[in-house]
Amino acid sequence: MVITPLLMIINEKLVQPRFIAAEIEREADEIDDNENPVIILGFGRFGQIVGRLLIANGCRPTLLEHDPSQIDLLRRFGWKVFYGDASRLDLLHAAGAEQARLLVIAIDEPEKTLQIVDLVHKHFPHLKILARASDRRHAYELIRRGVEVVERETFSSALDMGVEALKLLGVRSYKAHRAGRIFKFHDVQALQEMAEARGDESVLLARSHQLAKDLEQLLQSDDRELTQEVDRAWDISALRKDA
């Protein structure tokens, strides 16, 4: 392709300025809603669910978002959202971190999440942190940093789908939901154990396999016990004797 003088002019006058403008950092908003007990960093698909639940229960959080297009969309729907980089100490001060009780980190950037956790522990040690984890390894790092609540972004929805899959395969509804609860309890416990374990990768891998086997045995054992309990519940011979 031959680059003509006209194309060069178009690139210089129209195309390049757009890229430069996109790269210029937008000034953070002045936050005038900073006396709320909860601050939510990141108000995308994850943070919105947390925020809507809190608001529906009478708790209005301070909302910060770093995606300008997301902010424009949210504001059209009536949300009061502030623009700014939540890893900045001055912005956390402006958002009321000194007075707030909870900090919800719902951004989708694992490394920045860890940076924010370290920053908050140093400057706002009273704040309880609830953080979104992108995957299991990210969850390990958050747990090791002492984050009070760690939620893997796809865990609950995937577990719910697994329960529905069991039901579609013919498993009774109460059994499927019970299996889901047992799975969640065991997996959360295993997550905590693996996060605290530091050492040879092969040792961690072996322990992970063992935990998976333990879970399978636990679910099978519970299924047998539950079946026996249901059978006994339907057995009215004891009631007949009492009568």
What CATH code is carried by the domain that includes residue 146?
3.40.50.720
Alpha carbons 22 and 205: distance in angstroms, whole number? 44
What pLDDT shows up at residue 1? 41
In this structure, are 146 and 167 located in the same domain? no
63 & 125 share domain: yes
**Residue 30 and residue 139 in one domain:** yes
Question: Which residue has tokens 């003088």?
Answer: 5
* Burial of 163: CB neighbours in 10 Å, binned 0-12, 13-18, 19+: buried
CB 169 within 8 A of CB 150: no
Do 28 and 130 fall within a single domain?
Answer: yes
Give the chain's mean pLDDT: 81
pLDDT in tens, 21-67: 444 466 766 777 678 999 999 999 999 999 999 999 999 999 999 88
Judgement on whether residues 201 and 102 belong to the same structural domain of the protein: no
Counting the structural domains of the chain, the total is 2
Q: What is the pTM of this model?
A: 0.74
In the chain, the amino acid numbered 172 is R
* Residues 54 and 137 both lie in one domain: yes
Structure tokens at 138: 């990210």
Phi, psi at 132, each rounded to 5°: -85, 130
* CA max distance for the chain: 103
Hey, what are 187's tokens? 């997996």
| pLDDT, position 242 | 55
| C-beta of residue 145 within 8 angstroms of C-beta of residue 119 | no
Asked whether residue 105 falls in the same domain as residue 44, the answer is: yes
Tell me whether residue 15 is in a domain: no
Residue 9 has pLDDT above 60, yes or no: no
Q: If you average pLDDT over residues 165-194, what whole number do you get? A: 91
pLDDT of residue 96: 92
pLDDT, tens digit (0-9, with 9 covering 90-100), for 198-208: 766 776 777 76
Mean predicted confidence (pLDDT) in 171-187 = 92
| Residue 20 reports pLDDT greater than 60 | no
- Does 43 share its domain with 103? yes
Across the chain, where does the E strand assignment appear? 38-41, 62-65, 81-83, 102-105, 128-133, 149-152
Q: Which residue, of 105, 123, 153, is where some domain finishes?
A: 153
d(C-alpha 89, C-alpha 106), whole Å: 17
Domain that holds residue 110: 24-153
* Structure confidence at residue 19 (pLDDT): 43
pLDDT above 90: residue 238: no
Band the pLDDT of 71: cuts 50, 70, 90. Answer: confident
Residues 57 and 166 in one domain: no
Residues 136 and 173 grouped into a single domain: no
Return the closest-CA partner of residue 62 out of 30, 88, 22, 26.
30
pLDDT of residue 235: 42
**CA–CA gap between residue 112 and residue 203 (Å, rounded):** 29
Phi, psi of 129 (to 5 degrees): -110, 135
Does residue 85 carry a pLDDT above 70?
yes
Enter the tokens of residue 151: 């939620």
Going by C-alpha positions, the residue among 51, 148, 40 that lies closest to residue 92 is: 40
Residues 113 and 177 in one domain: no
User: Smallest Cα–Cα separation from 29: which of 96, 78, 74, 95?
Assistant: 95
